Amino acid sequence: MNSLLVSRRVIFTIAITSFSIYLVFILNPEGALRILINLLTFAGIYGLSAIGLNVHFGWTGLLNFGHASFMGMGAYVTLLLMPHAAGREGEVTTSGLPIIIAVFFGIAAAALFGLLLGLPAIRLRGDYLAIVTIAAAEIFRLLVRDLESITGGVYGIISYTENLQKFRPEFINSLSLNYEFAPSQAWVGIIAWVSIILTLFLLKRLNSSPWGRALRAVREDEDAVRAMGKNAVWLKLQSFMLGAGIAGLSGVLLAFNYGSLETTVFVPLLTFYVWAIMILGGVGSLTGPIYGSIIFWVIISETDRLAYIFFENANGQQLAGFRFLLVGLLIMLLMIFRPSGLLGKKEELLLDVK
Amino acid sequence: MSNNLLEVKNLKKSFGGLQAVNIKELIFKKNQLTSIIGPNGAGKTTFFDLISGFQTADSGDIFLKGDDITNSQPYKIARMGMIRTFQLTKVFDRMTVLENLMFSGSSVTNDSFTKSIIKSKKQRNYEIELKDKSYEIMEDLNISHMADSYARELSGGQKKLLELARSIINNPDTLLLDEPLAGVNPKLAEDLLGLIQKLSSRGISILMVEHNIEAVMKISERIVVLSEGALIADGSPSEIRNDKNVIEAYLGKDDE
């Protein structure tokens, strides 16, 4: 009975996701594939980030509202370690590490930032942790903006995409000629989805392990964890580091997808997008954020077309409003009819609507 | 080798102006079943919090089996073999009963992040043993039919049983039970009492805070009475039953 319900949930989720993708083709008679690849690349990157957030909130119960800063840390450290150009004058740095090593350091830096942020904050509970993390993320962003000599400040970083694009396989180029999509973006998208698969493989292993079990126990009751002789603080720090590392990788991919990096990318709104995706997909569910992310990005990128159907003369501002109206409506419907998200377990419902 | 389990000296803790605990000297012997009683607000739970590390004392010293644990973290004290339960039962609600037990029984090395990725044969075997051990304890306590239920679906009494099961899975030498019988129906209370006695006879030292005086009198070897944070009586059940101070503390003075 139970397994039947689970599979029904999965079928429903896959159906609604497929329908979203189908919608892209319906709404765009021309260039649908190009739009779809753009959308799926963003969905992959944000989905990866939401998977990291799920380690924090879904597994360990940590209210992390500073997720954007982990993404930023990963992105900035990686880019600055590779050949790039930065700042007002576009000062060129030609020497640097190979991309694989730079990304490794980027992820490590994000994880370390998670540890650093966690040390003072992790003893706080619930909403207090949320306040500290959102503040820390803003401090990070403003610091990056003001340390112009290192980070390029408001002028950002450019000319780094070649580090990745030089490894682009030939078949993407030839396909792009036939189907008219951006080959560089497709390459980032492929890497994003491969990263998701690898990350999910790792997390699936951890989820069913004693370590994953310990994190869930921390989520349920920290005092009881301590009373059983377990170091709850250390467990929370480990969770913080793992989730931050995953976010760091997604930040790197986001930077490669944009082609140039500015601090404005990592505003709190990014964090809330990732939260919305996680809630949509199902808190605590491993694969949920993937579906959540695709549906979320279809709405974000296709509402313009949808709005034209309803309001023929809508301008840009009205469209933006309509977009968030739809996202809000969807989350409201979800909270009413499926509060555990698309794939979350009802028994492990984390967002109680009271 | 000293026979002292727990030694408390000049232990003080106050909240604002309220002196919650003020104990000059108190020594608990190994392998005894001792109950701590006293009127509401006597400082019993605070006393438990202090010796289990959940609160820090304003002043004084606490020794567990000769080691100073005055400012130790709760998890370190638990690893020394003294496990506590809580007045308001704390189970892991959205985990199954089996998971509750397996988490509690799992060693710190078994919980390690890297070992959890590698998943060696050794770890898998350890987990299988842990599962068997968990089922053994569940069967002992008659909750094995609930193994796959989420802990939050359990009744209050079953949660008490689960908490107790969780506490004994690592074979502690000392148990601190905070009101193990509170809110439990008479039949289950009887069972729990039997269980506590059985654990005591296995050589586990037990300190118990409990309001059910009848039960306390029946199973305790020693009773310690606290009132307004201070020790007012200490002795065998029969001594306590006739102690003037105790009667006063519970019923008020005669001449009032």
Mean pLDDT across chain A, nearest whole number? Answer: 90
**Tens-place pLDDT, residues A299-352:** 888 877 777 777 777 777 877 788 778 878 887 888 888 888 888 877 666 654
pLDDT band at B136; cut points 50, 70, 90: very high
A354: pLDDT confidence band, cut at 50, 70 and 90?
A: very low
What are B18's strand-pairing partners?
A: B15
- Of B212, B248, B229, B206, the residue nearest B33 (C-alpha): B206
pLDDT tens digits, one per residue of A13-51: 899 999 999 988 988 888 889 999 999 999 999 999 999
Class of B4-91+171-251 in CATH: alpha beta
Q: How far is CA A242 from the centre of its chain?
A: 14
Query: In B168-181, which positions are buried (b, 16+ CB within 10 angstroms) versus exposed (e)?
Result: bbbebebbbbbbbb
Instruction: Count CA atoms within 13 Å of residue B16 on its CB side.
Output: 1
- Chain-chain contact of A205 with B119 (C-beta, under 8 angstroms): yes
Contact A223 B119 (CB under 8 A): no
CB within 8 Å: A229 and B75? yes
pTM of the predicted model as reported, rounded to 2 decimal places = 0.92
- How long, in residues, is chain A? 354
Start-to-end Cα distance in chain A? 28
- Reported as a single tens digit per residue, the pLDDT across B175-214 is 999 999 988 899 999 999 999 999 999 999 999 999 988 8
**CA nearest to A237 within chain B:** B113
By the 8 A CB rule, do A102 and A167 touch?
no
Total domains in the fold of chain A: 1
At CB < 8 Å, which residues of chain A contact B? 202, 205-206, 209-214, 216-217, 219-221, 223-232, 235, 238, 242, 347-349
List, as ranges, residues 97-126 from B with C-beta within 8 Å of A: 99-100, 102-104, 106, 108, 110-113, 115-117, 119, 123
Residue A354 maps to a domain: no
Condensed to tens digits (0 to 9), the pLDDT of residues A160-174 reads: 999 999 999 999 999
**Are the Cβ atoms of A230 and B111 closer than 8 angstroms?**
yes
**B-chain residue closest to A219, CA distance:** B92
Q: What CATH number is given to the structural domain containing A247?
A: 1.10.3470
Position B254 pLDDT exceeds 70:
no
Cα(B52)–Cα(B64) distance, integer angstroms: 10
Q: What is the ipTM of this complex?
A: 0.92
pLDDT at A317: 80
Best of B97, B113, B127 to disrupt the A interface (most A CBs within 10 Å) is: B113
Task: Say which residue, B128 or A302, is predicted with more confidence.
Answer: B128
Structural domain boundaries, residue A142: 2-348
- Contact criterion met (CB < 8 Å) for B92 and A230: no
Q: Which of B53, B103, B127 sits opposite A217 (nearest CB)?
A: B103
Sequence-separated (6 or more) residues with CB below 8 Å from residue B199: B168, B175, B206
User: From the list B52, B91, B106, which residue is nearest A210 (CB)?
Assistant: B106
Output the CA–CA distances (angstroms, integers) from residue B78 to B29, B69, B74, B134, B147, in the order listed.
18, 11, 6, 19, 25
In the predicted model, is pLDDT for residue A216 greater than 70? yes
Count CB-CB contacts under 10 A for residue B98: 19
Q: Which residues pair with A92 in a beta bridge?
A: A85
Residue A89 CB neighbours (<10 A): 9
Residue B110 has its nearest CB partner, among A210, A216, A220, at: A210
- Express as a percent the part of chain A with pLDDT over 90: 66
Give the nearest chain B residue to A239 (CA atoms).
B113
Which residues in chain A are contacts of B83 at CB distance < 8 A? Answer: 227-229
Cβ-Cβ contacts under 8 Å between A and B: the total is 108
Residues of A with CB below 8 A from B104's CB? 228
Q: Each residue of A92-134: pLDDT tens digit?
A: 999 999 999 999 999 999 999 999 988 887 778 778 899 999 9
Spatial contact of A225 and A211, defined as CB atoms under 8 Å apart: no
- Find the helix or strand (DSSP H, E) in which A195 lies: helix A183-207
* pLDDT for B31 beyond 80: yes
Contacts of B111 in chain A (CB under 8 A): 210-211, 213-214, 230, 235
| Chain A residues within an 8 Å CB radius of B106 | 210, 213-214
The domain spans of chain B are: 4-91+171-251, 93-153
Asked whether the beta carbons of A56 and A130 are under 8 A apart, the reply is no
Structure token digits, residue A320: 């933006």
d(CA A51, CA A310): 35
In a domain, A353, yes or no: no
Question: Taking CB atoms and an 8 Å cutoff, what residues of chain A touch B119?
Answer: 205, 209
Q: Which residue of B55, B64, B75 is the best one to mutate when testing the A interface, meaning the one whose CB has the most A CBs within 10 A?
A: B75
> A147: distance to nearest CA of chain B, Å?
36
Nearest to A220 among B95, B106, B108 (CB): B95
Position A353 scores a pLDDT of 38
| Residue in B54, B114, B116, B178 to test binding to A, most A beta-carbons within 10 Å | B116
Q: How far apart are the first and last CA of chain B?
A: 49
Please list every residue in chain B whose beta carbon sits closer than 8 Å to the beta carbon of residue A242. Answer: 113
